[in-house]
Structure 1
Amino acid sequence: MNCLADRRGWRLLANGGAIAAAVVTAFPIFWMVLSAVKPKGEVQSLDPRPWTAHPTLDGFRRVLGVDGFGRYFANSAVVALSVVVLSAVVVFLAAVAVTRFRFRFRTTVMVMFLIAQMIPVEALTIPLFFMFRDAGRHVPGLGLNTLVSLVLVQLAFSLPFGIWMMRGFVAAVPESIEEAAQIDGASRARILWRILLPLVSPGLAATSVFSFIAAWNDFVFAKTFIISATRNQTLPSALLVFFKPDENDWGGIMAASTLMTVPVLVFFIAVQRKLVSGLAGAVKD
């Protein structure tokens, strides 16, 4: 009886901690959405309240009325989805290479990936700016003021983390499965794409979430690399429209932030289902 009571006590404590963590995590999102639907007077009030009796969509109307908002949204989507697709392919192949094959400097390569994650983004922003500026002089379409520069830099920063994560998923797959497929006459490419890829799809989904969020929310590189071509700006840069010297439009800022959060939540929910169904579907195949 005492053991059962202790177990129930620990379970209640764990559930209480999980609920508290969920409330703390969800509160900023709740306040963001609440501020987006509050009237302008309530948003700027010195007596903030966690409710509003007069909800309004004026903040969203101001955001959607910004000239080029749809284009900025499309630019962010193009950059984020391109990074997700390219990083998924490169991360998968690189993880297989460093896990399944033995070659010289393999450990050195993995250590370099680890060191790359330790370098702060701010330390590389200026060098990357000059690199893309010089590259644009020799390769048209690769320099500043292009979405290609944003895709490449986000891809470079997402690969080290993704490879390290995928390495564990690939290593967890028994090599006997691949050996059995080879005995049955399957080629290396068939084993790679028809057998190994479905088995590690949950890990690939996890790395895709990281890549999508980092590329979608990027502000530093977008503001640094997109200087004069306003048509290539992304959503985080477009938020600066609501920051004014005399008075910031916090309702518009919160409305724009809410609209920016929706694609991230949709993408995460869609990929979360893959995390659960990926292994089951792979085993059935």
Structure 2
Amino acid sequence: MSAVLTDTATVTPPGRVLLRRQRVRPGKVLLSVLGLVLALVWVFPVYWMMLSAVTPDAILGSVTPSFLPWNFTLSNLESVLTDSGFLNALGMSLMVTGLTIVLVLAFAFFAALAISRWRFRGRKSFILTVLFIQMLPAEGLFIAQYQMMSSLGLLNQVIGISALYVAMLIPFTVWMLRGFVAGVPIELEEAAMVDGLSRPRAFLRITFPLLAPGLIASGVYAFLQAWNEFTTALVILPAESAQTLPIWLRSFLSASANRGINWAEVMAASTLIAVPVIVFFLFVQGRMTSGLVSGAVKG
């Protein structure tokens, strides 16, 4: 394919305007169009979920679909928000997710720091064990997890399901944070110690700010996994009063035997479940790169 030529104006210092030929590559244009199409394919399910959340169920089930909110309504969202089951599940999910994030980041950070900064006996075995645990299928542990939580009296408890989430997320989080810790040269701490800082203060003032993007990225991963997890919560939280949001969403299917599935309310509930994820990401995304340069200079 031949390149397309376009004219662009260039202003020279004396004020003369010159025309310059700029080559527009067809391959680059095709890649841009392909990227736009893929972005639309990815965005459409999210748009359809949000559109269905504000569309009456009778119209949503019609043969002819409507891709614009011509019949906008908030009744579906109001119905979900006034459901006591949704509010209870929301509180349960917030407590479980918050506790999981704090514990995962604390344990994984110190483990990643240890295997990246110090050489000790059994270090390689520990790293291989972490990798091996990550490869274990979660479904194969359900019976043992249920019996363990039942014997400890932690079924339908925040601490019980949070402990399992922490154990599930720590291996991958350790590997993620290990890369961030290893990427920060230890010479920065040594230079700060030469300037008079102690090792703990050098770490807190120099190295720790540089690890902030890694901690935030790991926190986002832990948040998404704990917030959306379904199968483990289904086993460990059998009581209706202790359901998390993904488990509560299943109640629409159990009610379908009598009155059918209200897809408009299902989409409204799914939209509300996605809102905390969007808010959390918007809150932390600006801080994911803020620590890349902070802390590199003492003072």
TM-score w.r.t. the length of structure 1 is 0.89
CA distance in 1, matches of 2:196, 2:189: 11
Show the counterpart of 2:23.
5
The range that moved more, 42-51 or 235-244, is 42-51
Instruction: Give the 3-state SS of the residue equivalent to 2:63 in structure 1.
Output: coil
Shift of 1:281: 3.1
CA distance in 2, matches of 1:159, 1:95: 10
Show the counterpart of 2:251.
241
Show the counterpart of 1:139.
none
Are the equivalent residues in 1 in contact too, given 2:188–2:296 (CA < 8 A)?
A: no
Shift of 1:169: 0.9
More helix by share: 1
Show the counterpart of 2:138.
121
Shift of 1:54: 0.8
Instruction: Give the 3-state SS of the residue equivalent to 2:202 in structure 1.
Output: helix
Paired amino acid for 2:250: L
Paired amino acid for 2:257: P
Instruction: Give the 3-state SS of the residue equivalent to 1:207 in structure 2.
Output: helix
Unaligned runs of 5+ in 2: 4-21
Show the counterpart of 1:174.
185
The range that moved more, 127-136 or 207-216, is 127-136
Are the equivalent residues in 1 in contact too, given 2:85–2:248 (CA < 8 A)?
A: no
Structure 2 CA distance for partners of 1:104 and 1:14, relative to 1, 3 Å: farther
- Sequence identity of aligned pairs in percent? 38
CA distance in 2, matches of 1:14, 1:95: 39
Show the counterpart of 2:296.
283
Structure 2 CA distance for partners of 1:17 and 1:283, relative to 1, 3 Å: farther
More strand by share: 2
Show the counterpart of 2:98.
81
Structure 2 CA distance for partners of 1:201 and 1:58, relative to 1, 3 Å: same
CA distance in 2, matches of 1:16, 1:264: 29
Structure 2 CA distance for partners of 1:74 and 1:174, relative to 1, 3 Å: same
Show the counterpart of 1:251.
264
Unaligned runs of 5+ in 1: 137-142
The range that moved more, 15-24 or 249-258, is 15-24
Which is bigger in relative contact order (C-alpha 8 A, separation at least 6)? Answer: 1
CA distance in 2, matches of 1:231, 1:180: 55
Instruction: Give the 3-state SS of the residue equivalent to 1:278 in structure 2.
Output: coil
Residue in structure 2 matching 1:36, options 38, 53, 60: 53
Structure 2 CA distance for partners of 1:36 and 1:168, relative to 1, 3 Å: same
Paired amino acid for 2:163: L
Shift of 1:237: 1.6
CA distance in 2, matches of 1:191, 1:125: 44
Residue in structure 1 matching 2:276, options 260, 263, 280: 263
Show the counterpart of 1:146.
157
CA distance in 2, matches of 1:260, 1:190: 41
Structure 2 CA distance for partners of 1:282 and 1:182, relative to 1, 3 Å: closer
CA distance in 1, matches of 2:178, 2:27: 35
Show the counterpart of 1:232.
242
CA distance in 1, matches of 2:152, 2:198: 40
CA distance in 2, matches of 1:10, 1:282: 43
Structure 2 CA distance for partners of 1:221 and 1:49, relative to 1, 3 Å: same
Instruction: Give the 3-state SS of the residue equivalent to 1:253 in structure 2.
Output: helix
Shift of 1:270: 1.6
Are the equivalent residues in 1 in contact too, given 2:177–2:214 (CA < 8 A)?
A: yes
Structure 2 CA distance for partners of 1:86 and 1:193, relative to 1, 3 Å: farther
* Deviations 1:107-166, CA, capped at 9 Å, x for gaps: 121112222222222222222111111122xxxxxx111011111111111111111111
Shift of 1:194: 2.8
Show the counterpart of 1:94.
111
Instruction: Give the 3-state SS of the residue equivalent to 1:5 in structure 2.
Output: strand
Structure 2 CA distance for partners of 1:239 and 1:77, relative to 1, 3 Å: same
CA distance in 1, matches of 2:203, 2:38: 40
CA distance in 2, matches of 1:47, 1:127: 49
Structure 2 CA distance for partners of 1:17 and 1:175, relative to 1, 3 Å: farther
The answer to whether structure 1 residue 26 and structure 2 residue 43 are counterparts is yes
Show the counterpart of 1:222.
233
Instruction: Give the 3-state SS of the residue equivalent to 1:99 in structure 2.
Output: helix
Shift of 1:9: 4.0
Give the aligned CA root-mean-square deviation in angstroms: 2.2
Paired amino acid for 1:37: V
Structure 2 CA distance for partners of 1:46 and 1:116, relative to 1, 3 Å: farther
